[in-house]
Structure 1
Amino acid sequence: MKNILIIGAGKSSSSLIKYLLDKSNSENIFLTIGDISKENSSKLILNHKNAKAIVLDVFNKTERETAIEKSDIVISMLPARFHIEVAKDCITYKKHLVTASYVSKEMKTLDKAAKENGLIFMNEIGLDPGLDHMSSMQVIDGIRKKGAKMLLFESFCGGLVAPESDDNLWNYKFTWNPRNVVLAGQGGAAMFIQEGTYKYLPYHKLFRRTEFLNINGDKYEAYANRDSLKYRSVYGLDDIPTMYRGTIRKVGFSRAWNLFVQLGMTDDSYTIENSENMSYRDFVNLFLAYSPSDSVELKLRSYLKIDQDDVMWEKLIELDIFNPKKKIELPNATPAQMLQKILEDSWTLQQKDRDMVVMQHLFGYEINGERRQIESSLVVKGENQTYTAMAKTVGLPVAIAALKILKGEIKTPGVQIPISKEVYEPILKELKNYGIEFTEKEVPYLGYNPNNVIG
């Protein structure tokens, strides 16, 4: 039997493991699931005869090397910063590697060694990045095949709560790492190009400039990703006049989130003294002027110019953010960590809740003097708290890619992402069997429409 080593048994691994277990008899494969917690991995294999759980501390060189040496292919579901040591071992022991993470500078340096050893190091093969690459390149390659010229490419993705589980005023719950949500957009200006003009949005303005989207009849908004231009050359779109990538939320989320940004609550660069003993109300008051007479509520409404009957105010009240009894209970915490703690009270998915992944691409092109546009959309709902939409859309592309590499159906070696037809065509085809299928339609060419932008 071929041995697949999966390192990391977090939330995104459930659908990945189930897919491979379901295929284990027919494909003659055995899974070894390594995690710092054997309990985590044991829960996902359900005593299946073609799998075993082991304790694997990625920082333990002996444990890591022993597990990798025994495998035929390695799937790393670790946080991105931990992949590199796994990747180096894969070079040493001549094993293929699959990850869902962005290609780091360190990973790129292994390209030559991977090629020399005939190894495939497939990265960015999850949801975003991953499904976005594959579905986009399939359409872009189709447009190029017609001899058309690309004019516009916009891509949007979001992890949301399914409508039937949407029971708060923010229309949002955490469906992936809450810390990443709180810190979203930080670390530099958002960069994109529209009608040949470069645009740069600083963080403090990011959530006030959003685009409206209509996906399967439902209205959404999207704020710009930090760097929309990093894939311009990768996709072969160096000369494209408009390229924009964004994160999807329900309409109204960004305007309300901007309140936290303007107050400074999303700052992660310093810690607060005595944070563990602060109440939620104390936390809010940190960012407001001193007044011996005015209440915290009055000071906040005055500072942010919010009327008492404004839905923005109702959203803040719903979070119980002014509660003087609830404690932060986090020592030496940053404002961002304290805000995350408060939000987790209201935005953590409950057992009955289902999540939802939404993705949309817009492709504008010119052919025979005529401008046209294709709209490609995807909506996937989770089944439960184990097999979520996020786990499905991240894990299944990883699993399918790993199996096809193992079977020799994907052959090109090197450090890469899934933008070649050899990779995206068979994976997208198989994903349809699991309800992951894009709906494409021709729509009127709009180009960049300033009327479609908020702020």
Structure 2
Amino acid sequence: MRSRPLVLARRRLLCRSNHHLANPKPVTIGIRREDSERIWERRCPLTPDAVHELVKDGVNVLVQDCSRRVYRSDEFVKAGAQIHPNLSPAHIILGIKETPLAELLTTPVDGIPRTHLMFSHTIKGQLYNMPLLDRFLEARPGSGERKELLPRLIDWELLTDEKGKRTVGFGWFAGVAGVLESLSMLAQFHLELGIASPFLYTPRPHMHPDLPSIRASLSRVGEMIKEGGTPREVGPIIIGVTGTGKVAQGMLDILSDLPIEKVNVEDLPRLVGSPEANLHKIYLVHALPHEYFSGVDGRPYNREDYYANPHLYKSNFHVKVQPYLTLLLHGAGWAQGFPRVMTNEGLATSLEIARGLWGGEKGRGRCVGDVSCDVEGGLEFLPRHSTLSAPFFCTRPGSLPAHLPEVRMMAVDILPSSLPLDASRHFSQGIMSYLRTLIRGYRGEGGVDAELERALDRATVTRGGELQGSNTWLKEPLGVWKDSLSATPSSSNMGSTAGTPQLKPSPKKRVLLLGSGMVAGPVVEHIGKRGEVELVVASNILAEAQNLAKRFGNAKPVSLDVADLGKLGSLIEETDVVISLLPVTFHPTIAEQCIKHKKHMVTASYISPAMKQLHDSALSSDTLILNEIGLDPGIDHCSAFSLLGAIRSQGKQVRSFVSFCGGLPAPECAEDGPLGYKFSWSPLGVLRAAKASARFKLNNRHYEIDEPNLLRHHFDRVPISNVLQLEGIANRDSIPYADTYGLGKTEDLRSILRGTLRYPGFCDLMQSFKEIGLLEFEPKLRLDSWSSLVRSAFESRYNDRVKGDDASLISALSNVLSTGSVERALEALSWFGVIPGVTSPVVGMPLLPQREMAPIELFATVLAHKQAYRPGERDMVILHHEIVASASTPASPEDIHTSTLMAYGTPVHSAMALTVGLPVAFAALRVLDGKVAMRGVRGPEEEGLWRDVLQGMEEAGLGMRESVRAGGSGRAMGMEGVLDAGLRRSMGAA
């Protein structure tokens, strides 16, 4: 190895002999923050040590700040990097996954095109990412971009040596993490069958700091197996591995930490049938293609012939291997036109065979870790990916006979992310030589390694606005995507060159989104990712619609006044699914148009009486009008159905159902303003909710609270958090939810209650505003100043003129306000700037309306300005179910089951926008794809729908967290007693 002094001396000599090296051009590298929606993506393309080396060589390194990254930002600063918000000065930008379109920098630096390096997920023609590819190929109109100066795109996946072997990647780490997650799945599966195994102690990769810690923990599991063995009921543990690449090697390497005995495929029938099998070992079969592929005419497997004529081969894996396995670890790749390792029919055959084997009744052949993650690929029965938040799931193909069991699968598609430190170190080492070659190119230095330069050229997808090398075939999927955006999609088959994917454009589907308000962003983003779907964003504020649609080539803005039934009807007629985010009063009109044109509709709002009346006509037109699929109502329904299903599967009977939900400022943002509240959705909607009546049952007492007393009779303490102090309001009529959730007769329930959460003091202050007249819908007022709002509202409500002086107004208010609330109410009204005599400057007031408006509308306008979230502030959503259940016998002890979501807003979206918008988007796409059978005016009671929504929220990092705690003999101690006591206090005070 050449010594460091010699290297430095050689470098100095080169600088003297080459004048252009004496002052090399400055080059800046940027390390991108990964997409915020990828909550588990913690990897980084360069380590701080690598950054330090580059900085010493005169390279400027910029890093986007990120608290989730495996390396802290201050580690990069110590290495010599600078923190930069958007990397705009960077010539070379590095990331792991693809860059979100909104963050992609396409303008040149110093007149030189940039270079982006990432796993772009465009090189296989993935239609969902054609908008990203298009940004590297087409200059945007009006942007000032020049096509020849568009950035170069290099895909990490295409970096290979001269023989075509990949030189950088994470495959080995995917194999390692896949084994660990799959063993955890196996342990849980056996536990559900009533069997505990040593695999219960398998380390989850993301819960350890590095790989040595993981291997030490797994080795302890191996020692347990050596000493105590594995459960006899499941027979010998046999693990099968497929594949021959880095993924498979990672699997085999980590499995070596267990007491492994390798066996051959032909040994499996004898091994499973032998009572002499050693239960203190794990048997491992590495099944290779020649052992399970054969010609359809019986010819033996021949590798060259197989790749030349894959259609002439079939798989026997379902007969020769799968029935005997306790766990399959699938790491073999697959491509269109090649035989699957297992089809759905093959799975059915393997399960039939497994039933008659030792351990067959305890799950042999039913656990699969698909590390290849090809959906409906090599294993046809893989329906979807899973996530690190929820790594395994159960599935059964529709063709599987009813008497055969479902299959448990692990299919996380970002497994290396669970080993971020080791994976980042490995990747950083692998890319440094390529990165230095790019740097030398930007500096104009000589002596560039020709082999590395050729490798970078092979990995270049685009340069100067043109597809490069073997990637020119991507014109075809790019054309398919563009056709899907046109008014008349092409229906012809696209040709392709040999060895490239065969693509056929699908008929274009269209979603119409009505509304562009606070929760519309996540809806547009999620649907916009579906490149084959056209999204029309219609709004009476065209600028808002344009801003939402601009990031996506398949989204277009439209100006619409929903009162224009002609234009509304035309838009609905041309669409497949309508999403309405407009106020609830508009929904019946929109639904009538949807029913008329036989188009499905999705909305997050409650089913109003007017909507209920449309049920029969929706049924007659074979139309679904899906409501209550946002946050509350929405996720609360979905999570309640899920939790109740789990409780019923244990043979328990529900005694009490209590549920609370609220959108609030995060605690650190709640002190600004008297309400302890800020608006992440319509202020008018919040004020309307304060004017509803309520009906519920609590602690065996029926309550009916009329509208004037709703805020007075609140729950002064809702014990959800040990940290947060919360109060609650009963939410409309809870009694019908006994039927909605299948809880049985109301008289058999101790409690059935749904409520809304607020910080303490909200209810009392809002009650004062109601008593003053600020929440009235009549009469209409025209103000000469905002400071006259309270006087005008009060006079209108009580039909009584108040003298012009401030003292008379205060006296009049004191006469109607509850004792003890006058001073606080006056302070709040002064802060809002809606009474005369304000001593401090009133800032942030909206423009005074020039038309007559109701007091509640005027007050909502003020609140929207005064209690809006400021830049950098975040909101919080809390959803909490508490269900008390027990066995059906009267004296059985009760258990308290809870399901909780606590979500915070991000710099991009509020928590309210995410928790309302994403469920709407998930549901709309499921309806669009024809996966919802319901018709009529409905809520999300169909199981496939609510499960799909919960899975989508889990993948977005917004999953519910369930727990159960045992009660004592007889009645459990839950929320009921605390809520009942608080309600009685408020009623006594009232």
What is the CA–CA distance in structure 2 between the aligned matches of 1:154 and 1:415, rounded to whole Å? 26
CA contact (8 A) 2:518 2:680 kept: no
* 1:396-454 deviation line (CA, Å, top 9, x unaligned): 11111111122233333333111232211121011111122112222453363133444
Percent identity of the aligned residues? 29
Are residue 174 (structure 1) and residue 679 (structure 2) matched? yes
In structure 2, the partner of 1:2 is 509
What is the CA–CA distance in structure 2 between the aligned matches of 1:322 and 1:64, rounded to whole Å? 41
Shift of 1:267: 2.9
Shift of 1:387: 2.0
In structure 2, the partner of 1:404 is 926
In structure 2, the partner of 1:446 is 973
Shift of 1:117: 5.1
In structure 2, the partner of 1:387 is 909
Aligned 1:256-335 pairs, distance under 5 A: 256-271=765-780, 275-277=783-785, 279-280=787-788, 282=791, 286=795, 294=807, 296-297=809-810, 304-306=818-820, 315=828, 318-324=831-837, 329-330=848-849, 332-335=852-855
CA contact (8 A) 2:515 2:580 kept: yes
How does the TM-score come out when normalised to structure 1? 0.86
Give the secondary-structure state (helix, strand or coil) at the position aligned to 1:200. Answer: strand
Give the secondary-structure state (helix, strand or coil) at the position aligned to 2:630. Answer: coil
Indicate which of 198, 209, 215 corresponds to 2:720: 215
1:9–1:319 distance in 2 versus 1, CA, 3 Å: closer
Aligned 1:27-426 pairs, distance under 5 A: 28-115=532-619, 118-168=622-672, 169-187=674-692, 189-211=693-715, 212-216=717-721, 217-237=723-743, 238-239=745-746, 240-271=749-780, 275-277=783-785, 279-280=787-788, 282=791, 286=795, 294=807, 296-297=809-810, 304-306=818-820, 315=828, 318-324=831-837, 329-330=848-849, 332-367=852-887, 368=889, 369-384=892-907, 387-426=909-948
Count of residue pairs the alignment pairs up: 448
CA contact (8 A) 2:786 2:835 kept: no
Shift of 1:285: 7.5
CA contact (8 A) 1:284 1:296 kept: no
CA contact (8 A) 1:297 1:322 kept: no
CA contact (8 A) 2:536 2:556 kept: yes
1:47–1:426 distance in 2 versus 1, CA, 3 Å: closer
Shift of 1:97: 2.0
For 1:221, the aligned partner's letter is E
Indicate which of 519, 526, 541 corresponds to 1:19: 526
* 1:134-187 deviation line (CA, Å, top 9, x unaligned): 111111222222222211111211121122322324321122211222333325
CA contact (8 A) 1:131 1:397 kept: yes
What is the CA–CA distance in structure 1 between the aligned matches of 2:812 and 2:609, rounded to whole Å? 46
What is the CA–CA distance in structure 2 between the aligned matches of 1:277 and 1:58, rounded to whole Å? 31
What is the CA–CA distance in structure 2 between the aligned matches of 1:318 and 1:365, rounded to whole Å? 47
CA contact (8 A) 1:190 1:200 kept: yes
What is the CA–CA distance in structure 2 between the aligned matches of 1:284 and 1:117, rounded to whole Å? 46
Shift of 1:322: 4.2
What is the CA–CA distance in structure 2 between the aligned matches of 1:372 and 1:279, rounded to whole Å? 54
Shift of 1:313: 6.4
CA contact (8 A) 2:764 2:821 kept: no
Task: Report the more deviating stretch, 259-268 or 388-397.
Answer: 259-268
For 1:171, the aligned partner's letter is G
CA contact (8 A) 1:4 1:30 kept: yes
For 1:88, the aligned partner's letter is E
For 1:17, the aligned partner's letter is V
1:304–1:107 distance in 2 versus 1, CA, 3 Å: closer
How does the TM-score come out when normalised to structure 2? 0.42
Give the secondary-structure state (helix, strand or coil) at the position aligned to 2:916. Answer: helix
CA contact (8 A) 1:128 1:157 kept: yes
Give the secondary-structure state (helix, strand or coil) at the position aligned to 2:962. Answer: strand
Give the secondary-structure state (helix, strand or coil) at the position aligned to 1:90. Answer: helix
Give RMSD over aligned pairs: 3.2
- Structure 2: tracts of 5 or more residues without a match: 1-507
Shift of 1:226: 2.6
For 1:176, the aligned partner's letter is W
1:262–1:74 distance in 2 versus 1, CA, 3 Å: closer
CA contact (8 A) 1:158 1:249 kept: yes
Give the secondary-structure state (helix, strand or coil) at the position aligned to 1:233. Answer: helix
What is the CA–CA distance in structure 1 between the aligned matches of 2:777 and 2:614, rounded to whole Å? 32
CA contact (8 A) 2:515 2:581 kept: yes
What is the CA–CA distance in structure 1 between the aligned matches of 2:679 and 2:658, rounded to whole Å? 25
> Based on CA coordinates, which of the two structures has the bigger radius of gyration?
2
What is the CA–CA distance in structure 1 between the aligned matches of 2:572 and 2:858, rounded to whole Å? 39
Structure having greater relative contact order (Cα 8 Å, sep ≥ 6): 1
What is the CA–CA distance in structure 1 between the aligned matches of 2:821 and 2:613, rounded to whole Å? 55
In structure 1, the partner of 2:363 is none
What is the CA–CA distance in structure 2 between the aligned matches of 1:106 and 1:314, rounded to whole Å? 40
What is the CA–CA distance in structure 2 between the aligned matches of 1:128 and 1:191, rounded to whole Å? 17
What is the CA–CA distance in structure 2 between the aligned matches of 1:440 and 1:420, rounded to whole Å? 21
What is the CA–CA distance in structure 2 between the aligned matches of 1:291 and 1:105, rounded to whole Å? 44
More strand by share: 1
Aligned 1:419-434 pairs, distance under 5 A: 419-434=941-956
- Structure 1: tracts of 5 or more residues without a match: none
Task: Report the more deviating stretch, 195-204 or 126-135.
Answer: 195-204
Task: Report the more deviating stretch, 321-330 or 122-131.
Answer: 321-330
Task: Report the more deviating stretch, 147-156 or 52-61.
Answer: 52-61
For 1:220, the aligned partner's letter is L
For 2:875, the aligned partner's letter is D
Give the secondary-structure state (helix, strand or coil) at the position aligned to 1:179. Answer: helix
Shift of 1:316: 5.1
For 1:11, the aligned partner's letter is M
Shift of 1:301: 5.9
What is the CA–CA distance in structure 1 between the aligned matches of 2:564 and 2:856, rounded to whole Å? 31
What is the CA–CA distance in structure 1 between the aligned matches of 2:585 and 2:712, rounded to whole Å? 31
CA contact (8 A) 1:213 1:220 kept: yes
What is the CA–CA distance in structure 2 between the aligned matches of 1:432 and 1:121, rounded to whole Å? 25
1:254–1:61 distance in 2 versus 1, CA, 3 Å: closer
1:440–1:109 distance in 2 versus 1, CA, 3 Å: same
CA contact (8 A) 1:284 1:322 kept: no
What is the CA–CA distance in structure 1 between the aligned matches of 2:730 and 2:525, rounded to whole Å? 34
CA contact (8 A) 1:99 1:125 kept: yes
CA contact (8 A) 2:878 2:901 kept: yes
Shift of 1:311: 6.3
What is the CA–CA distance in structure 2 between the aligned matches of 1:90 and 1:342, rounded to whole Å? 35
What is the CA–CA distance in structure 2 between the aligned matches of 1:305 and 1:440, rounded to whole Å? 43
1:221–1:116 distance in 2 versus 1, CA, 3 Å: same
Give the secondary-structure state (helix, strand or coil) at the position aligned to 2:557. Answer: strand
